């Protein structure tokens, strides 16, 4: 065996691109973004120091407050909707049904498509003038109304519906893998004791699958914070500013409204929020009790 320092030189060289990316593209950009958020930068960076001024302005901006509220509403509906619907799909698919793979394929295909495609399809389907609303009226229900897409107080829920349509299959795929791992003895035991199936699911299976639920929730929550394309394609943030989200706020102020200081303050708030929520989970997942492995 070669001495240890020699071995690790080749490995370090191989890791050089990774180090460059981590130092410049991740850590460097984050530090830079945070630094700029304390300046009065408009378009080109000026490195003065204005303290918390951008943050004060940010939280006095209606559009940012609405973006935050929308993220919360969308996130709650989207995550809960996906988890419940995805769980039901997984459970029903697990009932030894015929044509299982056909159903599975149908439930998961939207996940392969982009948010832009999803957004445009739902925009077309739900537009009030020619979409579902008009179609149902043509069928004879003249009073039928489903105009959520153009209603400021409802449009955000349409975005959640489109999101649920796209991502429920993901939850189903994750939970189905978990259900297939459940010991058949458990079902026999439950049957012997005469416990109704729904109670077995609710009180035994769901707690057993909790790691999968956590994984699914983390994946969905990541998508929630990043949501941008879906809003762009579905509503463009409208009507008015009723479906604005933080990710869109940052992009708009960076590239269209030429207010980089405010945009970086907003992205810093996003970053810190995600970090606070995520750090404990990441630590427990990847770094606890993984010692003793290596060359």
Q: Which stretch binds other proteins (CB under 8 A): 56-64, 72-80, 144-152, 277-285?
A: 277-285
Length of the chain counted residue by residue? 295
Binders of other proteins among 47-76, rule CB under 8 A?
Answer: none
Q: Is 239 in the site for other proteins (CB under 8 A)?
A: no
Q: How far is CA 5 from the centre of its chain?
A: 43
Q: Site mask, other proteins, residues 30-49, x = CB under 8 A?
A: x-xx--x--------x----
Please select the residue that binds other proteins; options are 3, 18, 51, 143, rule is CB under 8 A.
18
Binding mask 175-204 for other proteins (x = CB under 8 A): --x-------------xx-x----------
* Contacting residue, 50, 73, 80, 121, with other proteins by CB under 8 A: 121
215 binds other proteins (CB under 8 A): yes
Direct distance between the N- and C-terminal alpha carbons of the chain, in angstroms, rounded to an integer: 11
Q: Does 89 bind other proteins (CB under 8 A)?
A: yes
Number of residues this chain uses to bind other proteins (CB under 8 A): 104
**41 in helix, strand or coil?**
coil
Nearer to other proteins by C-beta: 73 or 278? 278
219 binds other proteins, rule: CB under 8 A = yes
Query: Whole-number minimum distance, CB 200 to other proteins, in Å?
Result: 13
DSSP code per residue over 101-150: HHHHHHHHGGGGS-HHHHHHHHHHHH-TTTSHHHHHHHTT-TT----GGG
Q: What are phi and psi of 245, to 5 degrees?
A: -130, 160
By the rule CB under 8 A, 263 interacts with other proteins: yes
Q: Which residues in the 145-174 window bind other proteins by CB under 8 A?
A: 165, 169-170, 173-174
Which residue in 30, 57, 24 sits closest to 42, CA to CA? 57
Of residues 48, 49, 60, 286, which one binds other proteins by CB under 8 A?
286
In whole angstroms, the minimum distance from the beta carbon of 3 to other proteins comes to 13
Helical segments of the chain, H only: 4-14, 16-20, 29-36, 53-59, 62-93, 100-108, 115-126, 132-138, 155-180, 184-192, 197-200, 206-208, 210-226, 229-234, 246-251, 260-286
């Amino acid at each position: 065996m070669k001495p240890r320092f020699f071995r690790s030189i080749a490995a370090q060289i191989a890791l050089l691109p990774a180090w460059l990316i981590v130092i410049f593209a991740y850590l460097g950009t984050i530090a830079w973004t945070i630094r700029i958020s304390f300046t009065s930068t408009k378009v080109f960076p000026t490195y003065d120091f204005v303290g918390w001024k951008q943050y004060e302005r940010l939280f006095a901006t209606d559009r940012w407050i609405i973006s935050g509220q929308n993220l919360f509403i969308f996130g709650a509906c989207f995550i809960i909707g996906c988890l419940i619907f995805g769980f039901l799909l997984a459970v029903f698919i697990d009932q030894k049904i015929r044509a299982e793979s056909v159903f599975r394929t149908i439930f998961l295909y939207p996940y392969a498509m982009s948010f832009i495609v999803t957004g445009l399809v739902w925009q077309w389907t739900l537009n009030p003038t020619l979409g579902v609303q008009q179609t149902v009226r043509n069928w004879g229900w003249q009073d039928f109304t489903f105009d959520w897409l153009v209603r400021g107080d409802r449009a955000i829920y349409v975005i959640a519906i489109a999101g649920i349509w796209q991502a429920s299959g993901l939850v189903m795929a994750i939970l189905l893998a978990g259900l297939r791992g459940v010991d058949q003895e458990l079902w026999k035991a439950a049957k012997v004791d005469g416990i109704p199936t729904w109670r077995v699911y609710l009180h035994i299976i769901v707690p057993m699958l909790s790691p999968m639920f956590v994984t699914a929730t983390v994946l969905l929550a990541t998508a929630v914070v990043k949501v941008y394309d879906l809003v762009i394609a579905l509503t463009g943030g409208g009507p008015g500013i009723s479906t604005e989200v933080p990710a869109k706020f940052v992009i708009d102020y960076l590239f269209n409204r030429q207010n980089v200081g405010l945009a970086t303050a907003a992205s810093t708030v996003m970053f810190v929020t995600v970090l606070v929520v995520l750090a404990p989970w990441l630590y427990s997942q990847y770094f606890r009790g993984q010692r003793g492995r290596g060359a």
